[in-house]
Amino acid sequence: MKIAIINGPNLNLVGTREPGVYGSETFDAYFQKLRKEYENIDFDYFQSNVEGELVNEIQSADKRADGIILNAGAYTHTSIAIGDAIAAIKTPVIEVHISNVYSREDFRKFSHIAAKCAGTISGFGLKSYLLAVESLIKNI
């Protein structure tokens, strides 16, 4: 099984960015653990701070992945283009958030992508990604 993990803006700073909200482990360190835990899964990882690059990557991952795990960061709440990209492809997309977006500011409660995704996982720290992998493996 091939899973593409796509992270949006500022997620390259997880580990040092607002540790009270996002924790103090870097995404790279967490990703290494995830790869070890699921040795039979072929993961690829892409991060960008640029909206159009995320759209390009969603389109390209559709051609090679069985599932996409997407944390669109703040673009979740603003990007019609990312929502349209998800609607345009066949590969299932799981929306993930490290923090619980529903316990934060009101503007984080709206997602342009949620309705286009197979489901949303929010608020479990970096383990949100593991739960997304499980949902794809078990075809939930």
> Known catalytic residues?
22, 97
127 binds ligand DQA per the rule CB under 6 A:
no
112 binds ligand DQA per the rule CB under 6 A:
no
23 binds ligand DQA per the rule CB under 6 A:
no
Of positions 4, 93, 101, 121, contacts ligand DQA by CB under 6 A: 101
10 binds ligand DQA per the rule CB under 6 A:
yes
Phi/psi for 47 (5° steps) reads -130, 140
User: What is the C-alpha separation between 108 and 29, in angstroms, rounded?
Assistant: 26
Please identify, among the stretches 29-37, 41-49, 72-80, 81-89, the one whose residues bind ligand DQA according to the rule CB under 6 A: 72-80
Using CB under 6 A, which residues numbered 80 to 99 contact ligand DQA? 97-99
Count the neighbouring beta carbons within 10 Å of the beta carbon of residue 39.
7
Strands 67-71 and 2-7: parallel
3-state secondary structure of 113: coil
Residue 2 CB, shortest distance to ligand DQA, in Å, is: 23
73 binds ligand DQA per the rule CB under 6 A:
yes
User: What is the C-alpha separation between 75 and 9, in angstroms, rounded?
Assistant: 8
User: What is the C-alpha separation between 108 and 100, in angstroms, rounded?
Assistant: 9
131 binds ligand DQA per the rule CB under 6 A:
no
